[in-house]
Homo-oligomer: A and B are copies of this chain.
Amino acid sequence: MTDIERMILERGRDLIRAAKRYAPGVAERINNAVFEMCMKDPHTKKQLFRFIDVLPNLKTDALMTQHLQEYLWNEKIQVPLSGLAKLASWLTPNPTARVVRMASGAMAKSFIPGASVEKAYKAIIQSGHKFTIDILGEKTTSETDAGTYMDAYLHALDYLSSEYGEGAVDEHGNPQINLSIKVSALYSRFDPLNTENSSSHVRNRLREIFRKAMEVGAAINIDVEHRQYKDLTYDIFKGLLEEDEFRTYGYAGIVVQAYLKDSETTLMNLINWTKRQKRSISIRLVKGAYWDHEVMLAQQNHWDIPVFTEKWETDANFEELTRILLKNAKYTHAAIATHNIRSLVHALVLKDKLGVDDAHFELQFLCGMANEIKKALIEQKVPFRVYTPVGELIPGMGYFVRRLLENSSNESFIRAFDTTADPAELLRMPEGNIKAQKGESVVEKNLGYMGQGKSPEEADTLFENFISCDFSTAVNRSRMSAALDDLEVMDSGLYINGEWIETTKRIESTNPSNRSEVLGKVGKAEKREVLHALESARKAYDSWKRVSARERAGYLEKAAVLMGERVYDLSALMVKEAGKNWREAYVDTAEAIDFLNFYAAEMKKLGDPVKTQELLGEDNFLSYRPKGVVAVISPWNFPLAILTGMTSAAIVTGNTTVIKPASESPLIAAELVQIFAEVGLPKGVLNYVPGSGAEVGNLLVESPLVDMIAFTGSRKVGLSIYEKMSRVKPGQKNLKTAIVELGGKNGLIVDSTADIDEAIPALLYSAFGYQGQKCSACSRVIVLNRIYDAFVAKLLESTRSLIQGDTSIPGVDVGPVISKRAYDTILGYIEKGKADGGKVLYEGSHQDTPGNYLAPTIIEVESENILAKEEIFGPVLSVLRVNDFSSAIAVLNSTDYALTGGLFSRTPSHIKQFIAEAGVGNRYINRGITGAVVERQPFGGFKMSGAGSKAGSTDYLKAFMYPITTTENTGRKGHIPGLDEFAR
């Protein structure tokens, strides 16, 4: 055992002994009872968390009792408060609700001691601890919110300096007044992609706070939040301090999160920056509070997990960072923030060993955590500060839940501040078991991360979604910028029978953000070329259908690789041609890649005949064969994804295709054709004939050479195709079938238990993302009366902060609509809606030059208003007020369409009812209603939204094929192969 380990053991035993002398208070005992319940089983934990989460919304006893019933009693979960409830039954007519409210209030209060700075100050004074105050209110959904947040800090500085006096310092000369700030709360569109705006808005507000802090001699610490905000947060912090007026400010501080794999680099960069700047800052070392979130986000987006996934790794890294920090104590003030006895004792021992002065060192605990140890440490005169949140329960709920999570994590089964555990165990050096030390992460393995734990057979047909773009990384932003800069004017022909063909008539493609910008031209097909394309497809079919499923899948996989290599170029083209913002454009390309890989993987599976029954003497197999020639008619709104999906499904199943892209987006379609040409797809399998819907479309739909039509587009065109294709023509081989994906009039219900902070951004994105030009877009929000006014007020505030403009500018939320015609149509709808009695709640300024800039519009309507019925396909959101939940469902279901629909609610019975009764193809609960991901959310609806196919689903490919049964008598004169083995 090393010296240091011996010292840690010694000092740690001492501390534990001291801590044991303090008995827990009432609140702590309630907390502990809840933590123990949570640790019993995951279901109880889940239900309890959910119940606590919704608590602030349960404003009446009836609501409280209902939710206790639905979350706990119905689930047979007994909360150990029933004794108390009985006791209280003579006090109040609704004892359970009362007791729960009291108990949860006590719990929350132990972590969040005051709803205002004034109240918190009283608690602080009472406790006698040093503090740093954190004003709760993380989710800032509007500039009003952001301003309020800034004002609260300014007020706190005013108030506290009036209490302490300006320039008050403690015994070590450090400021008495110490505040902690989350920068994301200082701007409502805080987003690393929205770099310039985020930086300037936050710096503007932070500047005022820093000025006042300098004025009153207060310390300001910047908290670090989600990993995606990290780089921008450090940039803002350093940038601000480098401003002249703050060069002399000595009490600024920032956080380093030890759970991040790159935290050592982060810390070294900070220290080096400080050295270069010849100044001192405070660095608070924490383990990190968003572990669940980071792991989830990484898994959902297929990113490398940025945090250590084993607890011991974070603990070990924390010690390493402590060492670095304390070695550089002269440039910094080191705040070691941990409740883990081993970690903090390690820091104390190291501090002594390195001779770090008390003025450059402190421990930090969160308010309400590990109180016994806190008391023992203070008694031992260790420099100590309590992180003290201030705020109401609703904005504080996120903070509160994170504390509960930390306290009820089953990780390692020993809570690091549990003084009843074996001291040697608590103080043991952090190290994993042998497997973990070899770098085999349990989390990654259990998540099946990157195909881990799959057999070779499974891996062969394994599908993984394309990795999402992390625009919080600067290099990714640069790539997109470069791709936009590199775009050249395109010039392209038709593609028929493996050859690019020139035409005299051309289609011109322009930028909806700036209609005078011509992006390129493609050929315009006429009857002769369409027939040529159809004959080529028919001819190619005879050989293409003989190519094995696996080989066909290979072409898609190769195309996916090329597309992946060109992801920024393709996305940039869509930014320009379709008016998509960066994220929307990237997601469009990613979805196209997903379709290629998913349909390839699925076809490899479907390519193997399946035995229908295990039978002696007879083999029976089900397999599939292609239908023939598929006409693909695609829209402009997902110009790459939808076209790629329909085309690749047709091709991989053994059909040949003639594709007619929308005239608004022929360039990106030509890029797809080019990719398939490059991967060597045999000639005639894919033929590309842009042209007019009336001419080219009709020729395709009515041709006897066509066996199937894959169409995504408007209801009007879709129904006409459906009708036309059903008439059998002379010479036609098969009854034509069709995939038709039409429009939507999608609604989102918000009830009184909705988490508004989550609902608002989800709604804004669903309604105004890509200017509402998605078939899945939310065009109706159906709000329950009880929450209506508050919700709508917040919604309007939030809408105001959306950034509108040219989509080539990063961070733009709302771009132009696709065309001047669309612009006029949508404005026309707004006028009709008004005439129909609609009340405009929000209307930005529309402007049709240089692009088709139509501002988001929010209109309050009755359920019979045209805006509540017809698809608009633009940034127009109708708001409907309903009295009860069943009416909300009825309104949701009341249109001709049935595509997507959503619900924000934390009432289990409402969620259940929604699942049972929402008559739409894609249902979303507590999230936005757009952005279906391939395989994850198979997409498509019914009624006038489509005929029930699901793009990105296992069954989608089956629509492009006929099922075939093959039966073979395997017996020969009574010899039955396999019977020998059966008999063994």
Is A617 among interface residues, defined by CB-CB distance under 8 A?
yes
Asked if B726 and A723 make an inter-chain contact with CB atoms under 8 angstroms apart, the answer reads: yes
A546 to B915 CA separation, bound complex (whole angstroms): 12
Asked if A936 and B612 make an inter-chain contact with CB atoms under 8 angstroms apart, the answer reads: yes
Asked if B612 and A943 make an inter-chain contact with CB atoms under 8 angstroms apart, the answer reads: no
Question: Of B402, B728, B735, B975, which one neighbours A973 at CB under 8 angstroms?
Answer: B402
Residue of B nearest to A715 (CB): B728
A906 to B409 CA separation, bound complex (whole angstroms): 67
Chain B residue contacts of A293, Cβ below 8 A: 971, 974, 976
Chain B residue contacts of A965, Cβ below 8 A: 921-923, 932, 937-939, 950
Is A23 among interface residues, defined by CB-CB distance under 8 A?
no
Chain B residue contacts of A936, Cβ below 8 A: 612-613, 615, 618, 620, 967
Chain B residue contacts of A618, Cβ below 8 A: 300, 927, 936
Is A505 among interface residues, defined by CB-CB distance under 8 A?
no
Asked if B410 and A735 make an inter-chain contact with CB atoms under 8 angstroms apart, the answer reads: no
A737 to B958 CA separation, bound complex (whole angstroms): 16
Is A455 among interface residues, defined by CB-CB distance under 8 A?
no
Question: Of B447, B943, B969, which one neighbours A982 at CB under 8 angstroms?
Answer: B447
Asked if B292 and A974 make an inter-chain contact with CB atoms under 8 angstroms apart, the answer reads: yes
Residue of B nearest to A721 (CB): B726
Chain B residue contacts of A915, Cβ below 8 A: 966
Is A154 among interface residues, defined by CB-CB distance under 8 A?
no
Is A244 among interface residues, defined by CB-CB distance under 8 A?
no
Chain B residue contacts of A911, Cβ below 8 A: 968
Asked if B737 and A975 make an inter-chain contact with CB atoms under 8 angstroms apart, the answer reads: no
Is A984 among interface residues, defined by CB-CB distance under 8 A?
yes
Question: Of B446, B616, B622, B733, which one neighbours A953 at CB under 8 angstroms?
Answer: B622
Asked if B938 and A979 make an inter-chain contact with CB atoms under 8 angstroms apart, the answer reads: no
Q: Nearest Cβ distance between residue A535 and chain B, in whole angstroms?
A: 20
Is A284 among interface residues, defined by CB-CB distance under 8 A?
no
Asked if A925 and B719 make an inter-chain contact with CB atoms under 8 angstroms apart, the answer reads: no
Q: Nearest Cβ distance between residue A961 and chain B, in whole angstroms?
A: 8
Per-residue CB proximity of A387-399 to B under 8 Å, as 1/0?
Answer: 0000000000110
Among A618, A625, A925, A963, chain B packs the most CB atoms within 10 A around the CB of A963
Known: A402-B974, A726-B726. Contact between A447 and B969, CB under 8 A?
no
Per-residue CB proximity of A890-924 to B under 8 Å, as 1/0?
Answer: 00000000000000001000010001100111111
Asked if A973 and B938 make an inter-chain contact with CB atoms under 8 angstroms apart, the answer reads: no
Per-residue CB proximity of A261-302 to B under 8 Å, as 1/0?
Answer: 000000000000000000000000000001011011001100
Residue of B nearest to A948 (CB): B962
Chain B residue contacts of A612, Cβ below 8 A: 935-938, 953
Q: Nearest Cβ distance between residue A636 and chain B, in whole angstroms?
A: 23
Q: Nearest Cβ distance between residue A32 and chain B, in whole angstroms?
A: 18
Q: Nearest Cβ distance between residue A204 and chain B, in whole angstroms?
A: 29
Residue of B nearest to A401 (CB): B973
Is A42 among interface residues, defined by CB-CB distance under 8 A?
yes
Known: A722-B726, A936-B613. Contact between A292 and B963, CB under 8 A?
no
Is A734 among interface residues, defined by CB-CB distance under 8 A?
yes
Is A50 among interface residues, defined by CB-CB distance under 8 A?
yes
Is A850 among interface residues, defined by CB-CB distance under 8 A?
no
Question: Of B50, B617, B961, B975, which one neighbours A401 at CB under 8 angstroms?
Answer: B975
Among A49, A446, A971, A972, chain B packs the most CB atoms within 10 A around the CB of A972
Asked if B733 and A943 make an inter-chain contact with CB atoms under 8 angstroms apart, the answer reads: yes
A42 to B719 CA separation, bound complex (whole angstroms): 57
Is A946 among interface residues, defined by CB-CB distance under 8 A?
yes
Is A926 among interface residues, defined by CB-CB distance under 8 A?
yes
Among A411, A927, A973, A977, chain B packs the most CB atoms within 10 A around the CB of A973
Is A955 among interface residues, defined by CB-CB distance under 8 A?
yes
Is A169 among interface residues, defined by CB-CB distance under 8 A?
no
Q: A interface, how many residues as a size bin?
A: 35 or more
Question: Of B45, B617, B725, B740, which one neighbours A980 at CB under 8 angstroms?
Answer: B45
Question: Of B616, B733, B916, which one neighbours A299 at CB under 8 angstroms?
Answer: B616
Is A1 among interface residues, defined by CB-CB distance under 8 A?
no
Asked if B983 and A411 make an inter-chain contact with CB atoms under 8 angstroms apart, the answer reads: yes
A922 to B49 CA separation, bound complex (whole angstroms): 56
A953 to B978 CA separation, bound complex (whole angstroms): 25
Asked if A401 and B962 make an inter-chain contact with CB atoms under 8 angstroms apart, the answer reads: no
Q: Nearest Cβ distance between residue A628 and chain B, in whole angstroms?
A: 9
A38 to B622 CA separation, bound complex (whole angstroms): 30
Cβ < 8 Å to B, chain A residues 609-643: 612-618, 620, 622, 625, 627
Chain B residue contacts of A984, Cβ below 8 A: 410, 442, 446
Asked if A49 and B972 make an inter-chain contact with CB atoms under 8 angstroms apart, the answer reads: yes
Question: Of B935, B967, B968, B977, which one neighbours A922 at CB under 8 angstroms?
Answer: B967
Per-residue CB proximity of A214-236 to B under 8 Å, as 1/0?
Answer: 00000000000000000000000
Chain B residue contacts of A940, Cβ below 8 A: 963
Asked if B397 and A948 make an inter-chain contact with CB atoms under 8 angstroms apart, the answer reads: no
Chain B residue contacts of A978, Cβ below 8 A: 42
Chain B residue contacts of A963, Cβ below 8 A: 921, 938, 940, 948, 950, 953, 955
Question: Of B295, B443, B735, B973, which one neighbours A947 at CB under 8 angstroms?
Answer: B735
A971 to B300 CA separation, bound complex (whole angstroms): 13
Is A53 among interface residues, defined by CB-CB distance under 8 A?
yes
Q: Nearest Cβ distance between residue A299 and chain B, in whole angstroms?
A: 5
Chain B residue contacts of A916, Cβ below 8 A: 546
Known: A405-B975, A966-B915. Contact between A982 and B443, CB under 8 A?
yes
Is A492 among interface residues, defined by CB-CB distance under 8 A?
no
Q: Nearest Cβ distance between residue A387 and chain B, in whole angstroms?
A: 18
Q: Nearest Cβ distance between residue A164 and chain B, in whole angstroms?
A: 33
Chain B residue contacts of A943, Cβ below 8 A: 733-734
Is A355 among interface residues, defined by CB-CB distance under 8 A?
no
Asked if B733 and A722 make an inter-chain contact with CB atoms under 8 angstroms apart, the answer reads: no
Cβ < 8 Å to B, chain A residues 385-423: 397-398, 401-402, 404-405, 409-411
Asked if A971 and B296 make an inter-chain contact with CB atoms under 8 angstroms apart, the answer reads: yes
Asked if A974 and B300 make an inter-chain contact with CB atoms under 8 angstroms apart, the answer reads: no
Chain B residue contacts of A932, Cβ below 8 A: 965
Is A309 among interface residues, defined by CB-CB distance under 8 A?
yes
A299 to B613 CA separation, bound complex (whole angstroms): 11
Is A448 among interface residues, defined by CB-CB distance under 8 A?
yes
Asked if B980 and A410 make an inter-chain contact with CB atoms under 8 angstroms apart, the answer reads: yes
Chain B residue contacts of A979, Cβ below 8 A: 292, 295-296
Chain B residue contacts of A938, Cβ below 8 A: 612, 622, 963, 965
Is A942 among interface residues, defined by CB-CB distance under 8 A?
yes
Is A379 among interface residues, defined by CB-CB distance under 8 A?
no
Per-residue CB proximity of A422-466 to B under 8 Å, as 1/0?
Answer: 000000000000000000001100111000000000000000000
Is A46 among interface residues, defined by CB-CB distance under 8 A?
yes
Cβ < 8 Å to B, chain A residues 27-62: 42, 45-46, 49-50, 53
Q: List 27 A-B contacts (CB under 8 A).
A: A45-B980, A49-B972, A49-B977, A53-B975, A292-B971, A292-B979, A295-B616, A296-B617, A296-B979, A300-B616, A300-B617, A309-B983, A397-B973, A410-B980, A411-B983, A443-B982, A443-B983, A620-B937, A622-B950, A725-B726, A734-B943, A734-B944, A735-B947, A920-B964, A932-B965, A940-B963, A950-B963
Residues of A within 8 A of B (CB): 42, 45-46, 49-50, 53, 290, 292-293, 295-296, 299-300, 309, 397-398, 401-402, 404-405, 409-411, 442-443, 446-448, 546, 612-618, 620, 622, 625, 627, 719, 722-723, 725-728, 733-735, 737, 740, 906, 911, 915-916, 919-927, 932, 935-944, 946-948, 950, 953, 955, 958, 961-969, 971-984
Apart from the given pairs A292-B971, A442-B982, A722-B735, 4 other A-B contacts in the complex at a CB distance below 8 Å? A292-B979, A402-B973, A405-B975, A936-B967
